Amino acid sequence: MTQNKMPKHVAIIMDGNGRWAKKKGKIRTFGHKAGVESVRAAVRFARQNNIESLTLFAFSSENWNRPAEEVGVLMDLFNLVLNSEAKKLNKNDVRLKVIGDTSRFDQKLVDKINKAEEMTQHNSSLILNIAANYGGRWDIVNAAKQISEKVASGELDSAQIDEHKFNQFTSLADQPELDLLIRTGGEHRISNFLMWQCAYAELYFTDTLWPDFDEQAFQLAVNDFADRQRRFGMTGEQVETK
């Protein structure tokens, strides 16, 4: 089989911080803080294994529904992590990209995001996409909106719109197709993450809570991926003789 065994693009729904903290008798936000170390480990693993893109779900468009205090802590944490990690990412040749509707964030945070993206824009060892105020449906609607504006202005002919064209207007355009989607924390759902990009991704669910997800746990997910036969609609025999 000629299939490449290493995923080029991995996305992770980092779930289970609150339950991890609760199990330890701590408040939920303690779990979010602990989860930052797992983010560092995941980035390290991705770089060491030549994964090209790593997309992490940090805050969903539905997470605004949480208590204001928890949302506040998550925003503060995002700020803090940008402060402490942006330079390190740059040194490690990682390109940072934030995907999602950042218009709802305060201007100071938006400025910080723009600065970090700009500083790291020419790095090429890994693209780290952080999904913040991200929703899969938002991504699709946002693409449709941009396309309709181009059609209305005459820049684009509607006859030219196909899947390839549409993809160019989504958040992860120009990056490798999503190969593997991991969800920690035991739930078996997508929670409005990468809906368009999930079309042919391999899905991996683990009960491990996000703060416990280390490089070994990431390796297990990658091993599981390597054992699968990706058929893309073909028969197993066709894939084997390819």
For every residue of 97-129, DSSP letters joined together read: EEES-GGGS-HHHHHHHHHHHHHHTT--SEEEE
State which of positions 8-67 bind Mg ion (CB under 5 A): 15
Q: What's the min distance (Å) between Cβ of 66 and ligand IPE?
A: 8
Nearer to Mg ion, 13 or 113 (CB): 13
Q: How far is CA 183 from CA 31, 202, 206, 217, in A?
A: 16, 11, 6, 12
Residue 123 beta carbon to ligand IPE: minimum distance, rounded to whole angstroms: 24
- The nearest distance, CB 184 to ligand IPE, in angstroms, is 8
Tokens of 159: 């006859």
CB of 131 to ligand IPE, least distance (A): 7
Q: Do residues 186 and 205 make contact, with C-beta atoms less than 8 angstroms apart? A: yes
Residues of this chain that interact with ligand IPE (CB under 6 A) are: 13-19, 57-60, 63, 74, 185, 187, 189, 191, 210
Closest to 92 in 3D by CA, of 48, 27, 145, 33: 48
User: Could you give phi then psi for residue 132, rounded to 5 degrees?
Assistant: -130, 130
- The torsion of the CA quartet 110, 111, 112, 115, rounded to 10 degrees, works out to 120
Binding partner of residue 59 among ligand IPE, Mg ion, none, CB under 5 to 8 Å per kind?
ligand IPE
Q: How far is CA 122 from the centre of its chain?
A: 20
Catalytic residues: 15, 63
Contacts with Mg ion by CB under 5 A: the residue count is 1
Q: Which is nearer to Mg ion, 108 or 188 (CB)?
A: 188
14 binds, among ligand IPE, Mg ion, none (CB under 5 to 8 A by kind): ligand IPE
Q: Which is nearer to Mg ion, 15 or 85 (CB)?
A: 15
